[in-house]
């Protein structure tokens, strides 16, 4: 373990404060609270690749910080690579306790405090049970064999960057790899950014609704029918250039709601997943219909639902279920994990409400003119439904 001056590696006071502000901007832009609910990483950790100035952060690490590691540990810069970097907040209000992540594949780590010590009480840093007296201009470089602990915050907010670096010569050699034990075995054991591990929390569920039920639902809850409902203004939630979203939580659609409930809660995989994530089947928001008008760019399911006054409710939304109820030529993409799922009629997608799972939806809205004409000839009375229809609900 050794200490270096933050200014020497490009993390000046102004730059550190910029990182804090960009993190706040990210949370506000995506309707995310400071504390999120998830088992993959502790709630206060945000991967910095989501921040607007992440490229500058990575640049300073790969140049100045790598040079410091090369100098002190007599290694070669060409052998070093960034494993991950997190923005970590410990605050008395949201995250007073520092919760470690299970790290099994790194060589060196670093901790850079972003705000001055006058902003908080507590938060003392310990390496191998020895308290490290950092000045406001210093940061810590440590190895995997060093034990890092941070004392609880009892006043204010402590903001910091926590990063991990691989020495590829060491990490690729199984015989010399050193693993750090993790006390909390419930946290994913392999490294946080292991794509396969992250993908395991995104679930495709086949045959949630029968084709016949989908057809009946489309007929009864089609926008052209629901918009004439006397209380439609109350049912309508969103109507913008991207989508229309409205509720079917009224007496008129009670039979539809019962049919959806029966299909979902008699499905073995849904019941298994609810049990896996410690969710109760009736702890859900009302069903809403989502009709896409065009492709949705990168977005997230917010971990917290908002009420009509845009105030945060106490219920944390943990998982969202998206059900496709008509024939759709399209898919949902999770670019961070090079993973996509094609939409299929009657099938569902179960997605964690977490900022780690950003996605975009790609739909082929265009049909060949000849195909459209032939479909119209086959049944001129039935309108062709071009927009994809989804049923959406969130478990909390």
Describe the crossing of helices 211-221 and 254-264 by its angle, rounded to 10 degrees.
150
* Nearest Cα to Cα of residue 260 among 281, 242, 277, 239: 281
- Taking the C-alpha atoms of residue 145 and residue 179, their distance in angstroms, rounded to an integer, is 8
Last residue within a domain, chosen from 131, 166, 193: 193
Buried/exposed code over 334-345 (b: 16+ C-beta within 10 A; e: otherwise): bebbebebebeb
pLDDT 10s per residue in the chain (396 long)? 999 999 999 999 999 999 999 999 888 877 677 776 555 567 788 888 888 888 999 999 999 999 999 999 988 888 898 888 999 999 998 889 998 876 557 899 999 999 999 999 999 999 999 999 999 999 999 998 899 999 999 999 999 999 999 887 765 543 344 434 443 333 333 334 445 666 788 999 999 999 999 999 999 999 999 998 888 888 999 998 889 999 998 888 999 999 999 999 999 999 999 998 888 888 888 899 999 999 988 787 876 544 444 443 434 568 899 999 999 999 999 877 778 999 999 999 999 887 677 889 999 987 544 445 555 555 444 444 468 999 999 988
Q: Is residue 346 part of a domain?
A: yes
Range of the domain at 234: 203-395
* Domain harbouring 389, CATH code: 2.60.120.620
CB burial of 23-50 (b: ≥16 within 10 Å; e: otherwise) equals beebbeebebebbbbbebbbbbbbbbeb
Q: How many domains does the chain have?
A: 2
**In this structure, are 210 and 189 located in the same domain?**
no
| 8 A C-beta contact, residue 43 and residue 90 | no
Q: Specify if 209 maps to a domain.
A: yes
Shared-domain flag, residues 249 and 186: no
DSSP count for the chain of H helices, then E strands: 11, 23
Say whether both 24 and 128 belong to one domain. Answer: yes
pTM given for the model: 0.59
């Amino acid at each position: 373990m050794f200490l270096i001056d933050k200014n020497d590696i490009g993390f000046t006071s102004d730059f550190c404060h910029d990182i804090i502000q960009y993190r706040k901007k990210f949370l506000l832009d995506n309707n995310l609270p400071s504390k999120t609910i998830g088992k993959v990483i502790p709630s206060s950790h945000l991967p910095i690749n989501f921040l607007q100035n992440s490229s500058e952060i990575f640049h300073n690490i790969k140049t100045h910080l790598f040079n410091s590691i090369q100098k002190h540990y007599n290694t070669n810069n060409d052998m070093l690579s960034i494993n991950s970097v997190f923005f970590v907040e410990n605050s008395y209000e949201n995250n007073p306790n520092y919760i470690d992540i299970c790290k099994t594949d790194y060589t060196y780590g670093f901790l850079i405090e972003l705000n001055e010590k006058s902003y908080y009480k507590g938060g003392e840093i310990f390496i191998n049970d020895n308290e490290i007296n950092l000045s406001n201009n210093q940061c810590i470089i440590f190895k995997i064999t060093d034990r890092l602990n941070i004392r609880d915050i009892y006043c204010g907010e402590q903001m910091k960057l926590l990063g991990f670096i691989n020495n590829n010569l060491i990490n690729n050699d199984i015989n010399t790899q050193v693993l750090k034990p993790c006390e909390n075995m419930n946290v994913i054991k392999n490294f946080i950014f292991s794509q396969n591990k992250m993908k395991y929390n995104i679930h495709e569920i086949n045959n949630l609704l029968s084709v016949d039920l989908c057809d009946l639902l489309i007929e009864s809850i089609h926008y052209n029918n629901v918009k004439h409902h006397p209380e439609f203004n109350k049912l309508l939630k969103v109507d913008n250039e991207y989508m229309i979203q409205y509720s079917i939580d009224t007496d008129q659609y009670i039979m539809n709601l019962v049919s959806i409930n029966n299909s979902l809660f008699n499905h073995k995989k849904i019941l298994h997943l609810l049990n896996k994530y410690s969710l109760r089947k009736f702890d859900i928001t009302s069903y809403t219909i989502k009709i896409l008008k065009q492709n949705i760019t990168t977005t997230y399911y917010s971990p917290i639902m908002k009420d009509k006054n845009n105030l945060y409710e106490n219920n944390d939304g943990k998982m969202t279920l998206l059900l496709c109820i008509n024939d759709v030529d399209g898919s949902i993409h999770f670019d961070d994990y090079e993973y996509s799922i094609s939409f299929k009629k009657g099938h569902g997608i179960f997605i964690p409400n977490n900022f780690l799972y950003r996605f975009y939806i790609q739909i082929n809205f265009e049909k060949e003119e000849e195909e459209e004409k032939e479909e119209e000839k086959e049944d001129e009375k039935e309108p062709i439904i071009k927009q994809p229809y989804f049923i959406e609900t969130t478990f909390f």
